[in-house]
Amino acid sequence: MKYTIRGWTRSVLAVAMGFVMAFGLSACDFGRKDDGKDDEFDPPLEVGTLTADDFLKTEGDLVKNRKGEEISLRGVNAGGLFVIEQWMNGFQASGPTEESSVIARDFRTTSQVFIDRFGLEGAEELWKNYQENWWSEADFKNCAAMGMNCIRLPFTYMTVDFDTVVSYDNAGDYDFTPLDDFVEQAASYGMYTILDMHGAYGSQNGQDHSGQTIDDAKDVDFYSNPQMIGLTADLWAALAEHYKDNPAVAGYDILNEPGEKAQSTNEKHFAVFDTIYQAIRAKDPDHIVIFESCWEGENLPHPDEYGWENCMYSFHHYTSSLGDNYVGHGTSWNQKITNVYRENFGVPLQMGEFNNYNSAEQWDYTLGLLNGLGWHWESWTYKVHNTWENTAWGIYTIYASTKVNAHTDSYETILQKFSGLKTTSAIHKVEMDGRTLESIMKEYCTAPRGTKLESGNYLFYDSLTDMPLTVIGGIPMLANDRNASRRFIVSESSDRDGTVLITASMNSHLSVSGGNVVLGVDAPSARFYPVYTEYGYAFVSYTTCRYLRLDEDGRLHADGKTLEESAIFYCQ
């Protein structure tokens, strides 16, 4: 790739920089790798498989396979396949009618209406048809072609224990076929599956995406209900027994957004987490167990408190209330990351759900941040089917002119509407600066794993002019003479969140004030994320969420919108 900066291109330095980088720098991967304008990707030329050597376990804060290779899990959620959300899956709230007094507003109630109207077998056939249309082999090909190596698969107890829709007394007659088929096909394309229990028996959060809506948080009694906890632990034990030797399963995400109505989690919830963990470990000592927070770092305990081993901590983050406020979005993400790192969990970290909406630069910022810090991630979500027509909630969007009415649509009409769910019917969004979300995902899924810029004493040279960074009249800027170089100390910030301080002299750090880089004291404005490129490091300001760039006079500003216009330094 050529980075065009101040009327020049950096390609002439590529060979020389290759030698410098090989000896002097460790890798981070915030950077874009193509122009992002391709709408279509060919499927991979070879279909991969996962073998016993690909079985994943944690080692400190890393995930490794049995060959000792570090693995970064990057991909997407298969939202809407096994549990519907009406806003994104082409269903409407409906009812009651003479046939059913149930209001269809989530998976469980919609299933109950289907059973009332078409019988248990008819309802099962409808859902099977829905699922076959929602996700097919073409979708695995799409994910693999984007470079994904992981799909997070939301499911509920009803996915494998459908008779419980009629009565919880029917619980325990599991059919893992739907999960098996997904895991097997994903593995055939070289992708892991995270089994994500989006909905526990009785609902762990009362949200519609658990499959079972409970209107008032006080009525969500899962964490004090021995029957529902027991049924959920038993299901996880059965899943662990079933998948214990399967390398294609990356891990067990035990409860999605576990707080009541997705509120905060505390010791009451942790006790249930531990019950499920112990049930899993009794059957499977080897798979990674994933614990989720609602929503911050302080909402999970240190794993040593419960003796949890071989585990990953997962978080979700959404900034939809900020709209297209880029700095607000970036600041929110920075604060989220800092909050988590303050807890010093010492385990791999995952962003299991997030979205950056219709802003390409917000996608760039977030995915670059996660890659650069070595987080594992899965965006929400692969596909949506709604009446909005123009939304980046899914990598693909299918426009639903009419939604399914479970109460009044005939069986044949429902099947006809389901037939329009295939991704081949999807509208590809191109409203993000001429780029599709598909192309953006490919850029960041295929980026190499990032490691931090090590602390040390460095000379900074601009990769374009080969001039050194120095301090002239108290202002950090490029020198006119290559011999006028000075050393800067790079050190990790106190929050240990991937940001660094760049020190010019005692208590005098590069800092940001009014969009300019000046010398200041240790404060948020003096923190930067190192951004690795093939030519050296760029830096993103923690406060402005923008790249540092050089003006024509060689002075640094913290307002660069893209990597292409940023200052890139190689360090010696």
* pLDDT at res. 2: 24
38 part of a folded domain: no
Q: Identify the CA nearest to 246 among candidates 197, 189, 286, 282.
A: 286
Q: Counting Cβ atoms within 10 Å, is residue 119 exposed (0-12), middle (13-18) or buried (19+)? A: exposed
* pLDDT at res. 430: 60
Strand segments (E) across 423-507: 456-462, 469-472, 475-478, 487-492, 500-505
For the chain, list residues with pLDDT below 50.
1-46
Asked whether residue 438 falls in the same domain as residue 539, the answer is no
Strand, coil or helix: what is 251?
strand
Where a domain ends, among 395, 427, 445?
445
Asked whether residue 167 falls in the same domain as residue 247, the answer is yes
Whether 547 contacts 539, CB under 8 Å:
yes
Per-residue exposure over 83-99, b if at least 16 CB sit within 10 Å of its own CB, e if not? bbbbbbbbbbbbbeeee
User: What would the pLDDT profile of 187-223 be if each residue is shown by its tens digit?
Assistant: 999 999 999 999 999 999 999 999 999 999 999 999 9
132 part of a folded domain: yes
Where a domain ends, among 383, 412, 445?
445
Strands 249-253 vs 192-199: parallel, antiparallel or unpaired: parallel
* pLDDT at res. 450: 59
**pTM for the predicted model, two decimal places:** 0.90
Asked whether residue 438 falls in the same domain as residue 477, the answer is no
Asked whether residue 402 falls in the same domain as residue 292, the answer is yes
Amino acid at 182: F
Asked whether residue 441 falls in the same domain as residue 477, the answer is no
Percent helix, strand and coil across the chain, each to the nearest 5: 35, 25, 40
42 part of a folded domain: no
Neighbour tally for 224: CB within 10 Å = 10
Asked whether residue 337 falls in the same domain as residue 421, the answer is yes
111 part of a folded domain: yes
54 part of a folded domain: no
Q: Per the structure block, which two tokens stand in for 348?
A: 């791999």
Whether 1 contacts 32, CB under 8 Å:
yes
* pLDDT at res. 452: 67
Asked whether residue 111 falls in the same domain as residue 22, the answer is no
- Non-local CB neighbours of 60 within 8 Å, separated by 6+ positions: 346, 347
Q: Per the structure block, which two tokens stand in for 179?
A: 């999960």
Q: Per the structure block, which two tokens stand in for 52?
A: 């016993």
- Non-local CB neighbours of 147 within 8 Å, separated by 6+ positions: 74, 441, 442, 445, 446
- Non-local CB neighbours of 413 within 8 Å, separated by 6+ positions: none
Asked whether residue 357 falls in the same domain as residue 230, the answer is yes
Distance separating alpha carbons of residues 97 and 88, to the nearest angstrom? 24
* pLDDT at res. 428: 78
395 part of a folded domain: yes
How many structural domains comprise the chain? 2
Asked whether residue 535 falls in the same domain as residue 432, the answer is no
Q: Identify the CA nearest to 188 among candidates 287, 396, 78, 43.
A: 43
82 part of a folded domain: yes
Asked whether residue 220 falls in the same domain as residue 349, the answer is yes
Place of tokens 């809506």: 213
Supply the DSSP symbol for 564. Answer: G
Asked whether residue 234 falls in the same domain as residue 330, the answer is yes
531 part of a folded domain: yes
Structural domain that includes position 131: 74-445
Domain containing residue 170: CATH number = 3.20.20.80
Q: How far is CA 359 from the centre of its chain?
A: 16
Our CA dihedral for 26, 27, 31, 32, rounded to 10 degrees, sits at 140
Residues in the chain: 572
Where a domain ends, among 396, 417, 445?
445
Q: How far is CA 397 from the centre of its chain?
A: 19
Domain containing residue 502: CATH number = 2.80.10.50
Q: Identify the CA nearest to 65 among candidates 256, 247, 280.
A: 247
Asked whether residue 190 falls in the same domain as residue 299, the answer is yes
